[in-house]
Structure 1
Amino acid sequence: MKIFNITLLAALISTPLAAETLDETWQVGVFGDYIKSSTNKENKNSWQQIEAGKSVGVDLHKIINDYWNVRFELARSRYDIENGNDKTYGYRYGADAVYKLPESDLYLFSGIKRFNNTRSYNALNVGAGYGFQVNERFSVYTEAAIYKDVNYGYVDQGFKLGLKYSFGAEQQRPVSNRADNSAKPAIQPVAVTEATPVDSDNDGISDDKDRCAHTPATVKVDSTGCTLYAEHEVAITLNVAFANNSAKVKPALIDDIQRLADFMKEYSDTQVVIEGHSSATGAAQYNLALSQNRAEAVKDILINKFNIKASRLSAKGYGQTQLLSNGNSAKDHSLNRRVVAKIEATTKKVVHKG
């Protein structure tokens, strides 16, 4: 009697490009699979001693929400029969409910299939799969399943490998709010006035007491005729989101990091601590290292892409110790996967009259 074992190997590859900027509605997949018939069928002439089958097929997924999909499947199979001395062809079709495990690329599914090969029968199936995101549109998936024949009582096994394409509109990332530090007070041209022995620059201070000649007439001056300045606080904040189990900065967020770099170039005496954070899923020690890697990734972009001196930057990972949200939904975990930074500086602005 032949014995068939199926082992599903899932290699967890880091930094998938999560499709958080894609509003997925449908997915279509193409796949190949291997169906191992029950050994009891292999010994029965009524089943033509059917053995293993190799299939190609398509499936269509309807995205219900973050956790559930509905899938429709159609496959064409070629089976070995007559103790491997001949071939026969068949097909199967059916539907599955797919449950996606939170904060994971693993999923479970269950459904019903109709098989037509040497005989026709219905089967209930259960299985598990793993999906690896190649980019926002494409993903690779692999599955293992068992099929319970409800007409004759046999159990078949299956292994699948496929490629999926996601349909949906790309979402525009909202522009983050920050302090507008670009506007500077316009310096008014020096009013052209005829010199007088009393007040040449018309600032209200006579020439014999005026230590700052030619101050603009529109600005306030002190008792010595010099321009008055008021100190103002300016600040900028950075909040960079990350995909699950990833320390790779998404290309769409580089502009936010550039705004922080521009602020540091304008205020050249500023320094910043870049803080990395993680969600609460997984081991605390692993999340601490992941959050440190996220902070280092943003720091490296500031140094290597925008030429900020390393001496002005420091990176610190906090792991899961400073959660923004304590919930356990996918949205809560997404809010907690972040790198934040804040810089404050003091600048002087001219005090104008009126």
Structure 2
Amino acid sequence: MKKLNTVLLALVSVGMTSVAMAQQSEKEPGEFYIGARLGALSLDSDRVGYKEGTLYPADSGFNTLDTGLEVGFMLTEYWETRIYYDYVQAGIDGAPGDLYGQSFGSDFLYHFNDMVYAGIGVNGTEVGDLSDAMVRATVGHREFINDDLSWRVEGGVQRGWELDHTEFFANIGLQLWFGEPTAVAPKQRPQVAPQPAQPAEPEPEPVDSDGDGVVDSKDNCVNTPMNYSVDANGCVKYKDETIREELLVEFDLNSSKVRESAMGEIEEMAMFMKDHPQLELTVHGHTDSTGEADYNQWLSERRAQSVADALVKRFGIAKNRVSYKGHGESQLKVKENSAADRQENRRIEAELKVVNRVPVKR
């Protein structure tokens, strides 16, 4: 029976989650559905049944599982009828094992609105080869996932007139809808004697309270600033604006030490990163073409690391936001024909950019 409670709780959770996507959908006469049911019964304490020729008392707790199918039909906008069949599995009170049976019947349901309904019906409930004819009262709640699929949860009480049992039930169901609404003749409007024409009142002058060029009756954004452009609905127009921050630091020959004169540019990059904490930076190190390629690769990595360390240790940028990479002599900035050309190639480079949405001014 613990498994029964777990299944019911899981199914109710699924049904409640569907509320987020549910929509109201008023069904018309002539439409019908086929549905699946899962629920639980709280059997009467006097309910008994046979198992292998022996009579046992049924578990009277809310632990009896019933699963089945139902078919329903909309009679009118408010009245619905349905028939159902459930397979019943009840525990034995004080002993292992289960009693099996079935429940089948029909209901007439009245819908107070698109979601809440109540009804009355008759059924036969059998447990362990002993059955009772019963009258059942039901209240329920239904919501639609789309026009063709709905879920519902309901509960109620049933009372037997043969074995004098009183039992309670709760279940949840999923219903698939079919059919076309029954055509209803349009109502004839009563004829009304024409009234004498009244002189038309002059229409009031349109008002533009915030002076943005869009009258109040069409203005969805009131009190927009006077210096901003607005769209046809009176709302501020925006455009994308790209902001870039570039960093270029040169180094002395065979050196990876950052010149003190370059700290100002590094600080500007640090301030840009603090203003845009979502950005991460990669520092790219380079050398000129003199020397061995392996040495130049090592030197370019040292130069990139020196600038990365300055950003982290001197200007407080988080270490996980800064990385570095050396390119050796593979990416010369200029073709080397002089000492000045080689100086331009002894460098690090880094760039950040961010796209902001900014208002368009008049």
- Kindly indicate which of the two structures has a greater share of residues assigned to helix: 2
TM-score bracket for the superposition, by shorter chain length: 0.3 to 0.5
TM-score scaled to structure 1, two decimals? 0.44
TM-score scaled to structure 2, two decimals? 0.43
